[in-house]
Amino acid sequence: SFFLFVAQLLSSSMSAVMLRAIGRSAAAAIPARQAPRVVAPSSLPALPALGGVLHRPMSSEVPKEDLMKEALIAALEPTDVLVEDVSGGCGSMYKIEVESPLFRGVNLVKQHRMVTDTLKKEIGEMHGLTINTRRSPE
């Protein structure tokens, strides 16, 4: 029953008040507390939704923001560039600001297109993006 399930989730050191709330029959069915089982990471099951393996980022991996910034620097020769994850760290939304001399004489729509063309692959993996562009002062 539901009460038995809840009782098993709670530890065997419950207070008498909690036991009365669950019910005496369910509380009597709680097994004695056992030592926690330690599971080695290699014995964890693979998650099919994640391609069959758990992904643990390596400390040597370059943050996505840095990769995008390097691509923008190589393509647009900016005098100022900012790539910021505004999603709280999950990498689904970014704010990008670019100031480049290549934007002189180019309208705003084409400036943004230059940025999106540079980051086409990365943008395909995002849920949201804010782009601000401006021409470098002469």
pTM: 0.57
Mean pLDDT of 99-122: 97
Q: Is 2 exposed, middle or buried (0-12, 13-18, 19+ CB in 10 A)?
A: exposed
pLDDT greater than 70 at residue 26: no
Task: Decide if 92 contacts 128 (C-beta within 8 A).
Answer: yes
Task: Express each pLDDT in 72-91 by its tens digit.
Answer: 999 999 999 999 999 988 88
Rounded to whole angstroms, what are the CA distances from 102 to 82, 107, 114, 115, 118?
A: 17, 11, 10, 11, 13
* Mean pLDDT estimate for the chain: 76
11 pLDDT more than 50: no
Which is more confidently placed, 20 or 130? 130
Nearest-angstrom CA–CA distance, 65 and 21: 51
pLDDT of amino acid 67? 95
Q: Report the percent of the chain where pLDDT is more than 70.
A: 57
pLDDT for position 61: 81
Whether the pLDDT of residue 105 is over 80: the answer is yes
* Nearest alpha-carbon partner for 62 in 70, 50, 53: 70
